[in-house]
Amino acid sequence: MKRFLSLAILLISCMLTEAQSGYNIPITLKPYKNTYIYLGYYYGTKVKALADSALLDANGKGVFSGKEPLPGGIYFVVSPRKEILFEVLIDKQQQFSIAADSATLPNNVQFTGSTENSLFQLYTRFTNNIGNDINKTTTEFKDAKNAKDSARLRNRLKQLTDRMQVYRDSLIAKNPNSFLTVLFQAMKEPVVPPGSKHPGGKYDSLYAYQYFKSHYWDGISFSDGRLVRTPFFEAKLEKYYKELVVPNPDSIKLEVDHMLLYSRSNTEMFKFLLVHFVQKYVNPEYMGQDAVFVHLFEKYINTGQADFFTKQYKDFMFKRAYSMMANLIGQPAANLELVDTLDKPTPLYNINSEFTVICFWDPTCSHCKETVPKVDSIFKAKWKNEGVAVYGVMVDGGKDAWKKFINDNNLSGWSHVYQLPSQQKEEEAAGKPNYRQLYDVYQTPILYLLDKNKNIIAKKLGYLQIDEVIDLKLKNKKSN
């Protein structure tokens, strides 16, 4: 009898566990009825996606439910008109209910069975009230008539922001293990000690920078996948790389590898970070940072650690990576075995000059029509006397249009070249990369700057920026 009883208890326990797996969130949302509402989530700063939908009945009641648990993060309820109504925290507890009236949102949302969301609702109400005061004071500050009013309002703004932080700190102290505490830590920025606490007893900007950077990620775990589904973690990440990381490729690689190493225990975070870094550096903001993308490709993508990318995106990354590998800053430029306007061989490496500017252009491209004559003007007025040669590569547009543009604009003194169709066919048959791949030419015009040994100094800059680099190189040469 006891054995049967224990089996029955075990069966009931298993049934309860099964019933409680996944998520079940009943919702009452007035005044909506007989219509769909939606449960969405943040994915970084720029992406908002839908996780589920619920059909409300005639009494405005519906249920968000699923057999698999939702990944933790900040979610939001969306109206039938696709408007975000209010936010919801999703963590381990995914069996709770919501009641709200759209007429009095966001302050009247009621959560039952979710301590996290009850705390979150209290915080939302507090921040809404403080936020209104901050906005009002900010407006008054902008319209201040004199220094006395400005000082008073500045002090008022500080008091309000301090109140906000004190409230957050109190919630953290009372609920140290809550998801809300994790979110507060992620939003918090380090406070640099006053100058009197710096080495030597006076303000030190280097110490302040190092302190701020070393404490920037305090309380944040790169193995916590819940942060991926928030609207502020990616913004914090962007600020770190923009303001605190030295923008040279080697420094960035160290930081990126460090973060990816610590995120490996959480698939969601690892995936998010790798995608973020790939998208950031595949078309980087600063010249030379494409070396970071090549590093990511070689260390993570080409080693099978990024199976979550689609085949189409993988193909794109392979093409971009192999193009970038051939033209990284400081490396020798690939030789170009091209011919001139008379089909006479004019290889790039036959150009003997202190500097060589390669200009990839198309005589039918509107941007090229504007830029190429300006390149020619600075070449004749300045570059030619500084030992700069221009190697102009016709990418598209046809030989006749190319030669006409050269003559009409008197582009003399250049080495004008193009690729014979027969050369292109031979390369394709042999499976060799062509100059478009070797120089990552996917638009026109594109300018490269090479030194006398044909090493790449600069690339994909405007002609005035190229001129600045040439001036800097010449200045450094004279000083040495």
Is there a contact between 329 and 287 (Cβ–Cβ < 8 Å)?
yes
Q: 191: exposed, middle or buried (C-beta count within 10 Å: 0-12, 13-18, 19+)?
A: exposed
Distance CA 166, CA 155 (A): 16
Residue at 330 is within a domain: no
- The answer to whether residues 298 and 354 belong to one domain is no
Average pLDDT over residues 451-474: 94
Residue at 197 is within a domain: no
Side chain identity at 295, as an amino acid letter?
Answer: H
Residue at 208 is within a domain: no
Q: What is the pLDDT of residue 1?
A: 42
- The answer to whether residues 136 and 181 belong to one domain is yes
Average pLDDT over residues 338-365: 95
The proportion of the chain whose per-residue pLDDT surpasses 70, expressed as a percent, equals 96
Check whether 451 has a pLDDT greater than 60. Answer: yes
Of 94, 113, 132, which residue is a domain's last? 113
Check whether 132 has a pLDDT greater than 90. Answer: no
Average pLDDT over residues 69-82: 96
Residue at 194 is within a domain: no
- The answer to whether residues 149 and 234 belong to one domain is no
- The answer to whether residues 140 and 72 belong to one domain is no
- The answer to whether residues 473 and 368 belong to one domain is yes
- The answer to whether residues 174 and 293 belong to one domain is no
Q: What is the pLDDT of residue 19?
A: 44
Q: Which backbone phi and psi does 131 adopt, to 5 degrees?
A: -60, -40
- The answer to whether residues 368 and 446 belong to one domain is yes
Of 134, 166, 187, which residue is a domain's last? 187
Is there a contact between 284 and 291 (Cβ–Cβ < 8 Å)?
no
Distance CA 402, CA 404 (A): 5
- The answer to whether residues 97 and 136 belong to one domain is no
Q: In the sheet where 73-78 sits, what is the strand order?
A: 47-55, 36-43, 73-78, 84-90
Residue at 312 is within a domain: yes
Q: What CATH number is attached to the domain comprising 88?
A: 2.60.40
pLDDT tens-digit readout, 405-441: 999 999 999 999 999 999 889 888 888 888 998 998 9
Residue at 14 is within a domain: no
- The answer to whether residues 128 and 169 belong to one domain is yes
Query: How many alpha carbons lie under 13 Å from residue 300 in its C-beta half-sphere?
Result: 23
Is there a contact between 86 and 74 (Cβ–Cβ < 8 Å)?
no
- The answer to whether residues 382 and 431 belong to one domain is yes
- The answer to whether residues 236 and 174 belong to one domain is no
Q: What CATH number is attached to the domain comprising 473?
A: 3.40.30.10
Q: What is the pLDDT of residue 123?
A: 87
Query: Which residues span the domain enclosing 60?
Result: 19-113
- The answer to whether residues 356 and 392 belong to one domain is yes
Residue at 201 is within a domain: no
The proportion of the chain whose per-residue pLDDT surpasses 90, expressed as a percent, equals 67
Average pLDDT over residues 211-226: 94
Residue at 444 is within a domain: yes
Q: CA 36, 38, 43: angle at the middle one, nearest 5?
A: 160
Q: What is the DSSP string of 31-71?
A: S--SSEEEEEEEETTTEEEEEEEEE--TTSEEEEEESSPPP
Is there a contact between 132 and 140 (Cβ–Cβ < 8 Å)?
no
User: Other C-beta atoms within 10 Å of 79: how many?
Assistant: 16
Distance CA 312, CA 75 (A): 30
Q: CA 462, 465, 470: angle at the middle one, nearest 5?
A: 125
Check whether 2 has a pLDDT greater than 80. Answer: no
Domain count, the chain: 4
Of 290, 325, 360, which residue is a domain's last? 325
pLDDT tens-digit readout, 94-110: 999 999 998 888 778 99
